[in-house]
Amino acid sequence: MENFTFHNPTRLHFGRGQIAALDRELPADARCLLLAGGGSIRANGVHDQARRALGQRVVVEHWGVEANPDFDTLMKAVEIVRREKLEWILPVGGGSVLDGAKFVAAAVPYSGDPWEILTTFGAHVKSALPIGAVLTLPATGSEANAAAVISRRGLREKLAFIHPTVFPRFSILDPETTFSLPARQVANGIGDAFCHVMEQYMTYPVGAAVQDRFAEAILRILIEEGPRTLTQPKDYDSRANLVWAATWALNGAIGAGVPQDWATHMIGHELTALHDIDHARTLAIVLPSLLTVERDAKRGKLLQYAARVWDLHGGSEDARIEGAIARTRAFYESLGIRTRLSDYGVSVETAAEVARRLKARGMVQLGERGAITPAKVEEILRLAA
C-alpha cells in the first residue's frame, strides 16, 4: 500500500428531518445562494424544508442547473453571488447541483477566466466560498468529496476539477428526500456508485486489506439493496443503505493508498458530451468491455472480485473471470440500464471519435498503469457496440 494522508473535512448529517441542521450549521447573518435544479425540490417539499430552516437569513435563489450542469448557467450564478456579495453556496438537489455549486464557489474568487478551472483540472484554484449541501439523489458522492464535473454544451465539452477547498463544509442526507426519485434516477445512482467502487478497486492487488474488504462490502450492498430499493422505493432502511453506500463509494476512504483506474469515467464523460447519455449509463456501456479488454492486467483483482463479490469459486480461473464480467453486465441490465452503444442508438463510429478526443486532451495513458491508450479506448468501445 502507498503512503497516504486521509482527510475528509465534510460533516455529514444523516437521517429523517436533518434539513433542519441548516440552521445550526450556518451563521445567523449568513448571506446565501440557494442553488437548485429544474424543480424536483419544489415538488417534493425539500425546498420548503430548506427555506424554513434558513429562517430570516438573506437567501437568493438560482434555479435551472441542468443534469450535467452547464457552465453558462453556472456563470449566471457566479455573477449573482458577486453582485449580491453572497457568502455561502447552498446546493439543494442531486450531484449536478452539488457539482455546480463547487464550480460557483471556486469561480467567484477566481482571478482568470473560470473555464480555465476545468481545463487545468483545478490547478490554479486558491480559494472557494464555503458550501453546505442538501443531497436528494444518492449516486455521485459529491456530498463528501472535492470533485465536480461541468459540461459546456456550446463547446460539446464535459470536464472535471478537483480541489480541497470545494469539499462541502457540511452535507445533509435525508433518505426520505430521495423517495420522489423516478426509478431511472435510482438505477443510475446504484450504477454510478458501483462503478466508483470498481474504479478504485479493480486494478491490481497491493495488500490493502481494509480498502479491499470495504470496497467488496459496498459492492455487495449495492447488489443486495439496489434491486430492493428499486422495487420498494419507500422502504426507508433500504434507501438509507443506498444513500450511505453511495457516499462511502466516493469519499476517499476506499481509494486511499491504492492504485486507481478511472478510465471508464473518462471514456464515459466523452460519451455524455457527444451523445447526451446519462452519466451512469455511459459507465454501464464501458465497464464490462473495459474489464474484458484489460482482463490480463487486472487478472489478480478480477479473480478476487469473482470470489468475494460474486461467490464464484469453482471451474478454471478464466471461467471465473468471464463469469464475473458477465455478472457485472447482467447487474446493470437488471437495474434497467442497457450496456451496449447500440441500445442508445449510437453507432460504432463513436469509438474513433472518443479516442481522438481523449488524445487531443493528452489523455493517452489512462488506467492504473497508464496502459489504456487511445487505441485501447477504441478497442473497448468497439467491443461495446
Contacts of 76 (CB under 8 A, 6+ apart): 62
245 belongs to the binding site for ligand NZQ (CB under 6 A): no
CB 134 to ligand NZQ: min, Å: 10
Contact (CB, 8 A) for 149 and 122: no
Q: Could you say which residues in the range 260-279 bind ligand NZQ, by CB under 6 A? A: 265, 279
Q: By CB under 5 A, name the binding residues for Zn ion.
A: 192
Contacts of 260 (CB under 8 A, 6+ apart): 199, 200, 203, 368
149 belongs to the binding site for ligand NZQ (CB under 6 A): yes
Binding piece for ligand NZQ, criterion CB under 6 A, among 14-22, 140-148, 164-172, 232-240: 140-148
Q: Which of 96, 200, 328, 350 binds ligand NZQ (CB under 6 A)?
A: 96
CB 151 to ligand NZQ: min, Å: 7
b/e 167-203 (16+ beta carbons within 10 angstroms → b): bbebbbbbbbbbebbeeebbbbbbbbbbbbbbbbbbb
Q: Which of 50, 139, 263, 354 binds ligand NZQ (CB under 6 A)?
A: 139
165 belongs to the binding site for ligand NZQ (CB under 6 A): no
203 belongs to the binding site for ligand NZQ (CB under 6 A): no
The long-range contacts involving 364-372, CB below 8 angstroms and separated by at least 24 positions, are 366/261, 366/262, 366/263, 366/266, 366/267, 367/261, 367/262, 367/263, 367/294, 367/297, 368/203, 368/204, 368/259, 368/260, 368/261, 369/204, 369/259, 369/297, 371/294, 371/297, 372/263, 372/290, 372/294
Partner from Zn ion, ligand NZQ, none binding residue 10, C-beta < 5-8 Å depending on class: none
Identify residue 137 by its one-letter amino acid code: L
Q: Hunting for cell 436533518 — which residue is that?
A: 18
Q: Could you say which residues in the range 314-373 bind ligand NZQ, by CB under 6 A? A: none
Q: Which of 10, 18, 185, 229 binds ligand NZQ (CB under 6 A)?
A: 185
Partner from ligand NZQ, Zn ion, none binding residue 68, C-beta < 5-8 Å depending on class: ligand NZQ
CB 28 to ligand NZQ: min, Å: 28
CB 244 to ligand NZQ: min, Å: 15
Contact (CB, 8 A) for 175 and 239: yes
Partner from Zn ion, ligand NZQ, none binding residue 287, C-beta < 5-8 Å depending on class: none
What 8-state DSSP symbol labels residue 136?
-
What 8-state DSSP symbol labels residue 7?
-
Residue (312 or 346) nearer to ligand NZQ, CB: 346
Partner from ligand NZQ, Zn ion, none binding residue 39, C-beta < 5-8 Å depending on class: ligand NZQ
What Rg do the C-alpha atoms of the chain give, in angstroms?
20
Residues binding ligand NZQ (CB under 6 A): 37-41, 44, 67-68, 93-97, 99, 136-137, 139-142, 145, 147-149, 177-178, 180-181, 185, 188, 192, 250, 265, 279
